[in-house]
Amino acid sequence: MFRFLDYPTPDARGRFGPYGGRYVPETLIPALEELEAAYLEARRDPAFLAEYRAYLADYAGRPTPLYFAERLSRRLGGARIYLKREDLAHTGAHKINNTLGQALLARRMGKRRVIAETGAGQHGVSVATVAAMFGLEAVIYMGEEDVRRQALNVFRMRLLGARVVPVGSGTKTLKDATNEAIRDWVTHVRDTFYILGSVVGPHPYPRMVRDFQSVIGQEIRAQLKEKEGREVPDAVIACVGGGSNAIGAFAPFAYAEPRPRLVGVEAAGEGLATGRHAASIAAGRRGVLHGSYMYLLQDEDGQIAPAHSVSAGLDYPGVGPEHGYLADEGIAEYAAVTDREALEGFQLLARTEGIIPALESAHAVAYAAKLVPTLPADAVVVINISGRGDKDVAEVQRILEGER
């Protein structure tokens, strides 16, 4: 059963070590203070917790299964591999854990209009979904490039009654959609709730989104106890773009003993050496974007560099401030896998387990395929399958058939 846990981060000023904070136009400061107060008050209210749990169970379909992947385990010849099946949550990804929490908060604050940014469209679909269910007006900002790549999700959002606004500035992807969502919020701050989709942005978003997503790690502990007689596996592997599914899986382990290996897998795109990737921790420098101090892809003048990944959901030039902190402190480790490796992971999981993962999650599978063979046979590894791959099938078909 989900609980609001107390973690040692962030501090009162929203800092994870040096990362995080609140670097936004002054117009938004009172709104962020109001949001923080409302969130802190809500998480102390048993009625809010009961309501959130009920929607997680009856609407999102939680708990999601922790599935023992026997054939994949045998194939990789090492540890016992479990898959955390976030792909089976309503709307097909972990995003719903966060959007349900924030939509409940929006309703509690009396805000009738919600806005969001989206990259691959998974967060946008999730926001459109909860907005429909709660009767809220939803406006979703999406880069023109992503609108083209993810046409199916655009239609899904419109079907759910949301207005999708294509964003044509900058690189026309997630980062620019986020700029535009922030501009909307600055303009309509008094009556609008911004449902941010990842553990990025100004305080309190990285903390609040982590808290809602930490249902993933809490369930892993309870389910592993039942299946393996131990709450803590040897390793937890999750993909990292902004980093919300990874933080959700990591948080209930990161600040407790014993601690498993926590492995975040960034997108190395066409290879770190090519400069065409989205690996902010592996190859970025610290800076400020979208209200937060974090690892960033940028040029030497501090202009934000375009990110690249075959997976639109990882195509973001920054990474949540808590990931920077976990990396610096050695609490979690971060690796990066290429587009090509991710495509192999995508097919590997499809053929061994009959599960088509999102291209994002396929990065975690691809890294597991490298790590697991080095582990003892009795080791227990959990891979977070953050979403399902239906949305990616057409793109993968295009790439694989193009190669033949």
Partner 1 sequence: MNPVSEAFERARKEGRRAAIPFLTAGYPDPEGFLDHATRLARLADLFEVGLPFSDPLGDGPVIQRASERALAQGVRTRTTLDLLARLAERSRVPLLLMTYLNPVLAWGPERFFRDAREAGAAGVILPDLPPDEDPGIAALAQEAGLATVFLLAPTSTDARIATVAGYTTGFVYAVSVTGVTGARDRLPPELGELIARIKRRTALPVAVGFGVSGRATARQVAEAGADGVVVGSALIRAIEAGADPAGVLAEVREGARL
Q: Which is nearer to partner 1, 96 or 195 (CB)?
A: 195
Task: Write out the chain in H/E/C secondary structure.
Answer: CCCCCCCCCCCCCCEECCEECCCCCHHHHHHHHHHHHHHHHHHCCHHHHHHHHHHHHHCCCCCCCEEECHHHHHHHCCCEEEEEEHHHCHHHECHHHHHHHHHHHHHHCCCCEEEEEECCCHHHHHHHHHHHHHCCEEEEEEEHHHHHHCHHHHHHHHHCCCEEEEECCCCCCHHHHHHHHHHHHHHCCCCEEECCCCCCCCCCHHHHHHHHHCHHHHHHHHHHHHHHCCCCCCEEEEECCCCHHHHHHHHHHHCCCCCCEEEEEEEEECCHHHCCCCCHHHHCEEEEECCEEEEECECCCCCECCCCCCCHHHCCCECCHHHHHHHHCCCCEEEEEEHHHHHHHHHHHHHHHCCCECHHHHHHHHHHHHHHHHCCCCCEEEEEECEECHHHHHHHHHHHHHHC
Q: Which is nearer to partner 1, 30 or 271 (CB)?
A: 30
In whole angstroms, the minimum distance from the beta carbon of 37 to partner 1 comes to 13
In whole angstroms, the minimum distance from the beta carbon of 296 to partner 1 comes to 8
Q: Which is nearer to partner 1, 110 or 303 (CB)?
A: 303
Q: Which is nearer to partner 1, 25 or 77 (CB)?
A: 25
Q: Which is nearer to partner 1, 73 or 292 (CB)?
A: 292
In whole angstroms, the minimum distance from the beta carbon of 10 to partner 1 comes to 13
In whole angstroms, the minimum distance from the beta carbon of 316 to partner 1 comes to 12
In whole angstroms, the minimum distance from the beta carbon of 33 to partner 1 comes to 8
Q: Which is nearer to partner 1, 176 or 339 (CB)?
A: 176
Active-site amino acid positions: 95, 117, 386
In whole angstroms, the minimum distance from the beta carbon of 30 to partner 1 comes to 5
Binding interface with partner 1 (CB under 8 A): 21-31, 169-170, 175-176, 179, 182-183, 186-190, 285-291, 296, 298, 300-304
